[in-house]
Amino acid sequence: GESVGLHLPTLSVQEGDNSIINCAYSNSASDYFIWYKQESGKGPQFIIDIRSNMDKRQGQRVTVLLNKTVKHLSLQIAATQPGDSAVYFCADKAAGNKLTFGGGTRVLVKP
Amino acid sequence: DTGVSQNPRHKITKRGQNVTFRCDPISEHNRLYWYRQTLGQGPEFLTYFQNEAQLEKSRLLSDRFSAERPKGSFSTLEIQRTEQGDSAMYLCASSLGGTSSNEKLFFGSGTQLSVL
C-alpha cells in the first residue's frame, strides 16, 4: 500500500553542525507534508509543514525541502543543539485522507 | 494549558481486562483522531471524529476497540478483553479540520498501555 518511509533510522550529529533528515513518500496524490519531533515519553510535536505547491519552506532553524519529481522530503536543522535530540517523523496527507506517518529517524546530538 | 490532554498517562492492566482512555482536544477543534504507536514505529491511524460523528475506522481497530465522542468535545477509547498485543502508546490528536489537506494535527502526550 501507500507508505511514507525514511532512509536512515539513526543520525548522529555534532553539536553546532547541520542535520539533514530524509524521507521518501509513495502517494503521488499527497499534497501536504508535515515534520514532527517526538521526545521520549511525549507525543509528536509539530515542527514545520509544506504544501505540494511549494518546494521549500523555512522556519526557525529548520527548513523543509520537497522534491515532487522523486517524491522526496527532507528536514534540515541548522546549528543542531542538544535539545534537538529526538525522533523525527515525516507524515503526508492527501485530500480527504488521514495523516500517514513514516517510521522515524532518531537524531543524537553529540556534545 | 490549552493543548490536547490525555488521561491516564500510564495504564497497566492484566490480560482480559477492559480499559478506557480519555482525550480532551484543543477547544474549538472539531476533528479528533486516535493513533497507536509501538516502540520505534510511527503513529498508526485508528479512527477519527468530525464533531460527534465517527467518520473513519482503520482495519487495525478490531471489534474489541470502541471510540466515542458523544458531545463533540472529549473522546474515549475503550479496549475490551485486552491482549498483550494491545500494549502500545495511544495518542490523541485534534485539528480544526477543513476540506483541504492543509490540516495540522496537534498531539497529546499519549496513554502508555501495558498489558501483562
pLDDT confidence band for B101 (50 / 70 / 90): low
Helix (H, G, I), strand (E, B) or coil at B35: strand
For B109, the closest of A42, A94, A100 (CB atoms) is: A42
Lowest mean pLDDT among A4-13, A69-78, B93-102: A4-13
Count CB atoms within 10 A of the CB of residue A100.
22
pLDDT score for B2: 74
pLDDT at A6: 43
Per-residue pLDDT band at A16 (split at 50, 70, 90): very high
Average pLDDT over residues B44-70: 93
Compute the CA torsion angle B91, A86, A47, B24 (nearest 10 deg). 20
* Minimal-distance CA residue of chain B relative to A49: B104
pLDDT of residue A4: 53
Interfacial residues of B (vs A; Cβ cutoff 8 Å): 4, 6, 33, 40-45, 48, 56, 91, 93, 99-110
Residue among B48, B99, B110 minimizing CB distance to A98: B48
Handedness of CA A66, A100, B116, A43 (dihedral sign): positive
Residue indicated by cell numbers 550529529: A13
Identify the pLDDT of residue A3: 46
For B32, nearest residue in chain A (alpha carbons): A98
Question: Distance between CA B43 and CA B114 in Å, rounded?
Answer: 17
Query: What local confidence, expressed as pLDDT, does residue A39 receive?
Result: 93
Q: Do B110 and A46 touch (CB under 8 A)?
A: no
Sign, CA dihedral A102-B87-A84-A32, equals: positive
A17-to-A22, A58, A76, B2, B108 alpha-carbon distances in Å: 16, 18, 11, 34, 31
> Are the CB atoms for A52 and A34 separated by under 8 Å?
no
Q: What percent of chain A has pLDDT over 90?
A: 74
CB contact under 8 A, B101 and A45: no
- In angstroms, how far is the first alpha carbon of chain A from the final one? 40
